[in-house]
Amino acid sequence: MPLLSGEFWVEVDPLVEVETNLETGDDQILVLLTEARYVFSGMIYGFEFRYVPLDLGRDVAEEFELDPVAEIPWGDPGIIVAESRYENGRLYALIRYWVSREQRAWIDFWGSNVHPSVSAFGTGDFLEGRPAKFSSFYDGIRESIRGYLRPREANKPREIAGRIAFSQVPYVVIDGGVYRSRVEVKLDIRNIVPYKVY
């Protein structure tokens, strides 16, 4: 069975007022497992998305919706914390997930060469606290779709829909007051709606 693996980190002491202190190791690991479940689910199953590009000429606001196709359940024995360490006020943990036989079909689907690989950076406002890390993933996914479509669609479409999956664990840093994530994804565009049908 394939193995997914990645290093995740969390600030141990709250750096902004909206956060609560993670007083115990169990609290800290719970935060890391929440992130790992989200990322590994996004690597296995991916997300469904709907994207309406901004079009000032038509007075159309940008819209982006992103929903997990499925999620690894809490308590899944396949997910383990292999090792951890404290460093510079953070807890780092190497987390692994053993993919089940049923999930292998999803891994094979996303591993196909018919799905283009795309990467982008996303940001999340650090003052929003730990959830801003997830916001940076969301923003990076949106930016990867935009970046892929921009040189390929001569006429801006009305709407794009499809699925997208992480191809590896996002790399995250805190830089200039934001969580900055580099996401690498595989893209499965299923529908592009031009303006002429409206």
Q: What is the pTM of this model?
A: 0.90
Q: How far is the CA of 175 from the CAs of 3, 59, 98, 164, 179, in angstroms?
A: 31, 33, 32, 26, 6
Contact between residue 144 and residue 185 where contact means Cβ atoms under 8 Å apart = yes
Section 56-82 average pLDDT:
92
Question: pLDDT per residue over 127-168, tens digit each?
Answer: 888 889 999 999 999 999 999 988 776 677 889 999 999 999
Range of the domain at 64: 3-197
Beta bridge partners of 6: 95
**Number of domains forming the structure of the chain:** 1
- Does residue 172 register a pLDDT over 70? yes
Section 105-132 average pLDDT:
93
Contact between residue 88 and residue 173 where contact means Cβ atoms under 8 Å apart = no
Q: Which amino acid is at 30?
A: L
Determine which of 84-98, 144-158, 162-176 has the lowest per-residue pLDDT on average: 144-158
